[in-house]
Amino acid sequence: MKTLILYYSESGKSEVVAKTLSSQLFGDLIRIKDLKVRKGFKSKLTSSIDAFRESKTEISPSKIDLKDYDLIYIGTPVWASKPTPAIITAIDKFDFRRKEIILFATMRISGGEKAIKRMEDKLQSRGARVTNSFIIKTQNKNTSNITGDTLDLIESLNLK
Ligand SMILES: Cc1cc2nc3c(=O)[nH]c(=O)nc-3n(C[C@H](O)[C@H](O)[C@H](O)COP(=O)(O)O)c2cc1C
């Protein structure tokens, strides 16, 4: 069974989770980039509004061939209690039909359940099967804390 970890990460925390999953589960990694500039305080507001409205964005890569993958992890930071625009766009753009999906979200404090539910609803209406999900709180955590949390979840959710 071939595994892919597909993720977006703005400031690197979701990337720590994605890389830990990849090394533990021997999965391929694809980082989705958002081509809209999302730096600085003003951008944070715009990004929250974009996420809240589920605005689409330009992403790279714009095409991914998923046919070799049976299990796909999709990960995102939580923005305004929603998935990021890059991940909303990826879910609409790529063909997840009949794939098994495990979702993950990172957040500072709250909104993860809502973001996961939104991704789950979108994926299920597109014919994917969401079989598991998890949320990691990143506030005041460094790389090794986030790696440790991810390793604990791999163990407790029996993802290996
Ligand atoms: C635009 C924006 C909106 C955010 N909204 C939320 C939120 O609603 N709830 C929350 O707990 N954290 C929120 N955060 C914090 C991020 O979800 C959190 O820091 C996440 O772990 C960052 O992941 P990354 O480093 O992979 O980008 C927000 C961050 C940004 C930049």
Look up the CATH number of the domain holding residue 7: 3.40.50.360
Residues 118-137 have pLDDT tens digits of: 999 999 999 999 999 999 99
CA of 96 to the centre of ligand 1 (A): 25
Residues 5-38 have pLDDT tens digits of: 999 999 999 999 999 999 999 999 999 999 999 9
Residue 151 to residue 47: CA distance in whole angstroms: 30
158, HSE (Cβ side, Cα atoms, 13 Å): 1
In short, whether 150's Cβ falls inside 6 Å of ligand 1 is: no
The boundaries of the domain holding residue 93 are 3-156
CA of 79 to the centre of ligand 1 (A): 5
In short, whether 46's Cβ falls inside 6 Å of ligand 1 is: no
Is the pLDDT at 42 greater than 90? The verdict is no
In short, whether 79's Cβ falls inside 6 Å of ligand 1 is: yes
In short, whether 84's Cβ falls inside 6 Å of ligand 1 is: no
Total count of domains within the chain: 1
Measuring from atom 6 of ligand 1, which residue has the nearest CA?
Answer: 79
Q: What is the mean pLDDT of residues 81-109?
A: 98
Question: Residue 85, preceding bond cis, omega within 30 degrees?
Answer: no
In degrees, to the nearest 5, what angle opens at C-alpha 60 toward C-alphas 9 and 73? 50
CA of 107 to the centre of ligand 1 (A): 5
CA of 67 to the centre of ligand 1 (A): 31
Q: What is the mean pLDDT of residues 49-72?
A: 97
CA of 78 to the centre of ligand 1 (A): 5
Where residue 39 falls among pLDDT bands split at 50, 70, 90?
Answer: confident
In short, whether 87's Cβ falls inside 6 Å of ligand 1 is: no
pLDDT at 1: 81
Tokens of 113: 């359940």
